[in-house]
Structure 1
Amino acid sequence: MSPAPTVLVIGGVGFIGRHVVTYLVENNLASEIRVVDKVLPHTAFLNERQNEAFRKVEKDGSSFDFVFNLAAETKYSMSERFYEERIFLLSTLNAKEAAKRGVKCFVEVSTAEIYQSDKKPSKEDAKIIPWTTIAKYKYRAEEELKKIPGLNLVILRPSIVYGMGATAGLTPRLVCGRVYQHLNEEMRCLWSKDLKINTVHVLDVARAIWHVAVWYRDNEKAGKGPFVYNLSDPGNTDQAKINGLITQIFGVKTGYHGSSIDKLAQHNLDGATDEVNDKHATPWADLTRESGIKATPLSTYVDKELLYNNALSVDGTKIVEETGFTYEVPEVTVEKLQEIIDDFKLNGLWPKDMI
């Protein structure tokens, strides 16, 4: 039997990266793991399970079979130059080095936000109209990576990734649910109940990253790619589903503002964004202060780019059909969202429950 592969995880302290590292360590999948990240693990709000995994990560290493690129700027509404450096150049420089070193598989984690907003699920060959600036530079990076000679490339495009430790994606909705529980008010959303916000659990993303690398190597796909796969569970999540789960968790009523407010928001999204964020910020600050929380990565803040009426509808079946991958978390459930909250509670990052 050949030795287990050596792995470099770039951006390995981030939300997805920490789950990848933990998955590799706990399942003894790699003979050596090295993590590169601008953030130090002890400042990244890792939970104890993740901290234990990082204690077993190698400090050295320069030769790797697999490289997983999860490094990218995740803040919205930054300057174009910022994304040029922290997404496009970062990805291309890492990929060129991987090609030069003969890495057996380079997995680039992109985003499904590159697709045209549409109720119809986007397949990998769907029309490309990125609807966030991050997605614009992710797609530019994808296209540049495809041109690099000798790069053994697999690109993954996940929909909204959620799970323990997530501070973006679905988590701000959970934070707002806690705020409305505190306020004893109905939680109302912009746009319609059937707005698609398709999802994929972070553990399935971690499994998929490893799965495609091994599949690429074992099926002798070198030089035959690049291969591009969406990652999206079959649950076809929309706003109505998430709101229903929030009602179950927090006992708050949920609803929608209606067409007149939606139209106003479309014409003045800056004002709508400010109003939404102002509504939630003070109650959340009160909740954390009353619970004695001095620092938390959680926030009610929602960026304007994410408040547009854009559907994220993604077909994640190609990776199943072509590589044999299976989704172990087929849909969002109360239990999976509660895991997120409980993990933050355990680490002293979530306000105390109402009495």
Structure 2
Amino acid sequence: MSDKLKAPEVLPSVLILGGTTTIARTLAQYLLSPDSPKASFVRLADRFSVNPPTTYLDKSFLSLLNYSSSKLEYKQVNLLNTAKHIELFTPPTEFNGINIRTNGEDVFEGFGIVFDLTGEVSFDKPELLQISNTYQTSLSLATSASKLPSNLKPKSYVRLTFPFYEQKSLPSSSAGHSESAELKPDGVRGRWWNEVLRGIGQLDLNFGVIRCAAWYGPGTYLGEIVPRLVVGHVYQYLNQEMKFLYNADLRVNTVHSLDVAQALYLLSLYLLSKPRSEVISESSVPIPFSFASSSSSGFLGTSKRSSISETWKTIPTVVPENITVKVPLFNVVDENDSTQGSLAKIVAETWSIKFGFLNSAMASLVQQFAKNDFTEMVEDVNEMHVEAWSKMLASSDPPIESSPITPFLDDHAFRKMSICLDGSKAKRILGFKAIHPKVQVQELREIIKGFQEDRLWPKLS
């Protein structure tokens, strides 16, 4: 915990919007830790049902949610439905015997802190879905929050964003790309996630953003790390060496989900600690316009898929390019400066398999083939992985009929994508210090064990 920022004397009530499949469950448990509680009450609102569950919920989260004296409320709601927003941003008067909405003087108050974790994280979602589920959902929620009466208006509004930008893999001697680096959003996903920041940055909110590196943690199977573990298990099952297309020194910075939760909380305290003008002066950076020019990613260069459509011109809330939007932004990474090589090594160690990298000549041939028929190459690799995984699920003890965890990778996962971020600003201003400074084999095995106990990951004899 930071020694730079002091927690409020009276624990705030907290609203978490979305993120049930990413960081929200970890964040809720972090805020309501019995050893060091940071909230008096937490409401998590998302589109999924929890009873019966319509998405995966880990046992530790369910235990917290179903505890008789729990301070966690789950609210199933369509977050894009603006008619529900006033109700959503209004805490209950009482919850499990806890007085929620008064400040000790019988004055009704709203949620002191709001964490916005909404958005579609998959690269291959259609643009209209990204506009609806990422851009419009997040912006409409923030707009509603900004218009609340003063007693209900959040005092701190924090958005989580991901490293969905084109990032050159800088040499290890470099700290990485700072928050002020002019990075191009990567693809349709990156553009609409980026445009959310410009949209909210125009509103009357005490707003700030955490941009995390490749994240991993218990109960989470999305992101960059766990899919590598799945593929590693497939190669163990096939008794084959795991080969990587790109060089070992490609930087893929990482961060544990618990540290993402910590950073979100520290940013909320920072926003509460100073006047808005001082926060803007000290930590804000310009957020680039998302649709300035077409972008390309990986070795394929500019393609039909990476070109910018004109759909954004039909969205009236998009902030015009000539308007500069500055937002407090903080990169969050661990201490390990992970690379393709270090991650390959730790995945191989987890499964006791061999790994390697294609030599430059072979890699050039593969890349040339990919330029000619990239889709066919991806389909062939996925067919092998998925077929083996299906057999593994059926051979598990006991057999697993279905699982949301899959070795299937969209074509974006085969591109030469670096995550290379400078996290020094979060350390300096927020006092961030990683609880999990590096990815460790034992931690990955615990993550796998949790999924195996929930019968989502095959346990083979």
Shorter-chain TM-score bucket reads: over 0.9
1:243-279 CA distance string (max 9 Å, x none): 1112211111111233222332344322221122111
1:175-228 CA distance string (max 9 Å, x none): 111111111011112211112211111000011111110122133447743310
Instruction: Identify the residue that residue 48 of structure 2 maps to in structure 1.
Output: 39
Q: 1:76 aligns with which of 93, 117, 123?
A: 123
Q: How does 1:17-36 map to 2 (within 5 A)?
A: 17-26=24-33, 27-36=36-45
Instruction: Identify the residue that residue 90 of structure 1 maps to in structure 2.
Output: 137
Q: How does 1:111-260 map to 2 (within 5 A)?
A: 111-119=162-170, 121-148=176-203, 150-168=204-222, 169-221=224-276, 224-225=279-280, 226-257=327-358, 258-259=362-363, 260=365
Give secondary structure in 1 for the equivalent of 2:164. helix
Instruction: Identify the residue that residue 147 of structure 2 maps to in structure 1.
Output: 100
CA distance in 1, matches of 2:158, 2:425: 16
Larger Rg: 2
Change (3 A) 1:216 1:345: same
Q: 1:284 aligns with which of 382, 389, 405?
A: 389
Change (3 A) 1:59 1:306: closer
TM-score, L = length of structure 2: 0.73
Deviation of 1:235 after TM superposition, in Å, equals 1.0
Change (3 A) 1:112 1:76: closer
Instruction: Identify the residue that residue 65 of structure 2 maps to in structure 1.
Output: 54
Deviation of 1:48 after TM superposition, in Å, equals 1.7
Q: Quick check: 22-31 or 236-245, which moved more?
A: 22-31
Amino acid at match of 2:73: E
Change (3 A) 1:161 1:132: farther
Amino acid at match of 1:50: F
Change (3 A) 1:145 1:352: same
2:426 aligned with 1:310: no
Going by fraction, where is helix more abundant, 1 or 2? 1
Which aligned segments of 4 or more residues in structure 1 are displaced greater than 6 angstroms?
none
Q: Retained in 1: the 8 A contact 2:166–2:185?
A: yes
Q: Retained in 2: the 8 A contact 1:193–1:256?
A: yes
2:77 aligned with 1:64: no
CA distance in 2, matches of 1:48, 1:95: 31
Amino acid at match of 1:166: T
Between Structure 1 and Structure 2, how many residues are aligned? Answer: 353
Deviation of 1:117 after TM superposition, in Å, equals 3.3
Give secondary structure in 2 for the equivalent of 1:15. coil
Instruction: Identify the residue that residue 338 of structure 1 maps to in structure 2.
Output: 445
Instruction: Identify the residue that residue 264 of structure 1 maps to in structure 2.
Output: 369
CA distance in 2, matches of 1:211, 1:347: 32
CA distance in 1, matches of 2:417, 2:147: 39
Q: Quick check: 107-116 or 228-237, which moved more?
A: 107-116
Give secondary structure in 2 for the equivalent of 1:268. helix
Percent identical among aligned pairs is 26
Amino acid at match of 1:54: L
1:60-86 CA distance string (max 9 Å, x none): 844211110111112221221111111
TM-score, L = length of structure 1: 0.94
**RMSD, aligned CA:** 1.8
Q: Retained in 2: the 8 A contact 1:116–1:127?
A: no
Change (3 A) 1:45 1:79: closer
Q: Retained in 1: the 8 A contact 2:45–2:74?
A: no
Q: Quick check: 37-46 or 14-23, which moved more?
A: 37-46
Deviation of 1:96 after TM superposition, in Å, equals 1.2
Q: 1:10 aligns with which of 7, 14, 17?
A: 17
Instruction: Identify the residue that residue 313 of structure 2 maps to in structure 1.
Output: none
Give secondary structure in 2 for the equivalent of 1:143. helix
